[in-house]
Amino acid sequence: MDAFFTADEIAFRDEVRAFIRENLPTDLAQKTRDGIHLAREDMARWNTILDKRGWAVHHWPTEYGGPGWTPIQRFIFEAECASADAPPLSVFGLYLVGPTIYTFGSSEQRARYLPGIRSGEAFWCQGYSEPDAGSDLAAVRTTARKVEGGWIIDGSKAWTSEGHFADLMICLARTNPNVKPQTGLSLFIVDMKAKGISLQPVITIDSGHSVNTTFMDSVFVPDDGLIGGVDKGWTYAKFLLSHERTNNAQVHRSRREFTRLKDLAAALPGSGGRRLIDEPAMCRRFTLVEANLVSLEVTVLRILADQTEGREPGPEASIVKIIGSELQQRITELAMEVLGEEGVKVEHEGDSLLAQEAQGWTKRHLFRRVVTIYAGSNEIQKTIIARSVLGM
């Protein structure tokens, strides 16, 4: 991708690469290679290292602690972190809640919450989806009732990722049932240790625990826990989701996983003395995924170029979310073909290369089934594209 970057940007890449090489703990890199569901302590440790360098909130404006990088510099930084197997930082606080608070929150909320997000001391989760309101957020049934000094929230939230170790939740709740569904919602900051909150773990198909169902029974939220104005939550929710969908392209992590998969296929024997990756059918599969991955990288760079000129993503966020999530699944599907029978074994015995790699790839393949659902299912994203781009 060097052809896309200037000499200054390549020099910046070299600076970032050297910093990561010198400061990324080897055990954190190994944990990132081995698993999907990292512990809070692992993400926080890398967050702290980056914060000391001033790079933890690399995409925030300088007035809120960001380093003042261009969108292309942020792309390069994220690519280098992924390539080095640096732990992913917690998405919710850094990428979703932080920008929402510094854009729509009060000065008091910015002063209170942004430092903890930046340092990695405070972890957040997102209370949007519900059992009967997934991609259709206008159907949210969780209610917030005004009382003296604050609000009482009742309801439940589904698929609360990282909720079991989050300190705070950004919660979408209905404050006005007598208007159009989209115009009666508000956005709140909820303390996850507040009285009336309980969580039920949801174990995903890969046997991992990253998501939960959250129940709120008469949870009190003080007045200063309301973000922005009453009944304005739909506007704030759409802002947050546009950031989430662009981030969920996951182009850098997909590139890293694909590189690892190519290395694995190149190390395994095929037929007739060839490497597995050189088998004609396998070679075609790898070439097709490579072409799609390059196309996604170029598309993301085009969006970043627009952002450099002050244009925020519109339907492009839905486009890269669809392409990126489907590509994540195609990479792990290809991994299952590379692994063959080893990929479907319950137990992986021995010290062969296949046995060593199989468990991690199988878990990734199972967990990646969810990526076309969260942040707005791909079917919903296609409807958004049809309406906003094609005029249907």
Whole-number pLDDT of residue 349: 64
Chain length of the chain: 392
Is the per-residue pLDDT at 64 higher than 90?
A: yes
386: region left, alpha or beta (phi > 0 left; psi from -120 to 50 alpha): alpha
My answer on whether 290 and 165 are in the same domain is: no
My answer on whether 180 and 211 are in the same domain is: yes
Burial group, residue 148, by CB count within 10 angstroms (0-12, 13-18, 19+): exposed
Whole-number pLDDT of residue 17: 98
The residue with greater pLDDT, 303 or 165, is 165
My answer on whether 343 and 257 are in the same domain is: yes
Q: What is the three-class DSSP state of 304? A: helix
- Residues 93 and 117: their CA atoms lie apart, in Å, by 6
Burial group, residue 348, by CB count within 10 angstroms (0-12, 13-18, 19+): middle
- When the pLDDT of each residue in the chain is averaged and rounded to a whole number, the result is 89
- Residues 189 and 98: their CA atoms lie apart, in Å, by 12
Q: Per the structure, how many domains does the chain have?
A: 3
My answer on whether 220 and 348 are in the same domain is: no
Whole-number pLDDT of residue 333: 95
Q: What is the three-class DSSP state of 169? A: strand
Beta bridge partners of residue 330, listed in sequence order: none
Q: Parallel, antiparallel, or unpaired: how do β-strands 168-174 and 124-127 relate? A: parallel
In a domain, 101, yes or no: no
Burial group, residue 158, by CB count within 10 angstroms (0-12, 13-18, 19+): middle
My answer on whether 380 and 257 are in the same domain is: yes
Question: What's the average model confidence in pLDDT over 79-98?
Answer: 94
- Residues 286 and 276: their CA atoms lie apart, in Å, by 11
My answer on whether 277 and 366 are in the same domain is: yes
My answer on whether 133 and 220 are in the same domain is: yes
Residue 74 belongs to domain spanning: 2-89
My answer on whether 205 and 76 are in the same domain is: no
- Residues 325 and 340: their CA atoms lie apart, in Å, by 23
Question: What's the average model confidence in pLDDT over 230-246?
Answer: 78
Whole-number pLDDT of residue 242: 67
Residues assigned a catalytic role:
244
What band does 378 get if pLDDT is binned at 50, 70 and 90?
Answer: confident
My answer on whether 76 and 132 are in the same domain is: no
My answer on whether 287 and 344 are in the same domain is: yes
Percent residues over pLDDT 90 in the chain: 63
Burial annotation 205-235 (CB, 10 A radius, 16+ → b, else e): ebeeebbbbbebeebbbeeebbbbeebbbbb
Query: 336-344: which pairs have CB atoms within 8 A and are 24 or more residues apart?
Result: 336/361, 336/362, 336/365, 337/282, 337/285, 338/261, 338/264, 338/265, 338/268, 338/276, 338/282
Percent residues over pLDDT 70 in the chain: 91
- Residues 327 and 292: their CA atoms lie apart, in Å, by 8
- Residues 167 and 164: their CA atoms lie apart, in Å, by 9
Whole-number pLDDT of residue 163: 95
The residue with greater pLDDT, 5 or 19, is 19
Whole-number pLDDT of residue 247: 59
Residue 260: its H or E element: helix 251-267
Look at the block and give the residue holding tokens 């949007």. 128
Beta bridge partners of residue 186, listed in sequence order: 173
Tokens of 130: 């519900």
Task: CATH number of the domain at 272, please.
Answer: 1.20.140.10
In a domain, 369, yes or no: yes
Residue-wise pLDDT for 127-147, tens only, equals: 998 988 766 777 899 999 999
Task: CATH number of the domain at 167, please.
Answer: 2.40.110.10
Domain boundary among 230, 258, 283: 230
Residue-wise pLDDT for 331-362, tens only, equals: 999 999 999 887 776 565 666 777 778 888 98
> Which of 275, 268, 279, 278 is CA-nearest to residue 352?
268
What band does 312 get if pLDDT is binned at 50, 70 and 90?
Answer: low
**Cβ(320)–Cβ(252) below 8 Å:** no
What band does 321 get if pLDDT is binned at 50, 70 and 90?
Answer: confident
In a domain, 380, yes or no: yes
Residue-wise pLDDT for 210-227, tens only, equals: 999 999 999 999 999 999
Whole-number pLDDT of residue 2: 67
Tokens of 93: 């606080």
Question: What is the DSSP code (8-state) at residue 133?
Answer: B
What band does 170 get if pLDDT is binned at 50, 70 and 90?
Answer: very high
Q: Where does 309-352 have alpha helices with state H?
A: 316-339
Whole-number pLDDT of residue 243: 62
Whole-number pLDDT of residue 155: 97
My answer on whether 342 and 310 are in the same domain is: yes
Question: What is the DSSP code (8-state) at residue 92?
Answer: I
